Amino acid sequence: MATYNSSKTDTQIDAAIEKFYNCRNKITVKAPSGSTVIASCGADRLVAAEVAGLWVFYFTKFGQWTIRAIHHQTTLPVQTILIDELKDYVVNFD
C-alpha cells in the first residue's frame, strides 16, 4: 500500500479541493440576442444556451480559444482569447 506524506493538514487539503470544485472558470460571451455562439480549442468544442444575450462556457483546458458568433446568417468577426489561468474571462461581440 502506498503512503502519502504531506506538510498540509487535512483541513488545508479539504479547503483546496472545495475551492477547485466550486470555482467557476468560465468564458462569458456577450453577443446579439438570437446568435449562435461556439467556443473551441483544438478538438474541444463547446456550445451554450443563450440567457438574455449572454452565453457561458465552462472551459475544459488551457490554450487559445476561438469564439465564433453567427447572428441572422451573418458571421461576426471571430475572437480569440488565451486561457492561461483559472479565472473568469469575458468576450464581447457588441
User: Could you give the domains of the chain?
Assistant: 24-92 (2.60.40.10)
Which tens digit of pLDDT belongs to each residue from 53-92? Answer: 999 998 888 999 999 999 999 999 999 999 998 888 999 9
* Range 40-56 average pLDDT: 93
Q: Which helix (H) or strand (E) holds 81?
A: strand 79-83
The answer to whether the pTM exceeds 0.85 is: no
Place 37 in a pLDDT band, splitting at 50, 70 and 90. Answer: very high
* Range 20-49 average pLDDT: 87
* Range 1-25 average pLDDT: 58
Q: Which helix (H) or strand (E) holds 89?
A: strand 89-92
* Sign of torsion over alpha carbons 44, 37, 31, 57: negative
Q: Which three cell numbers stand for residue 18?
A: 472545495
pLDDT at residue number 12: 67
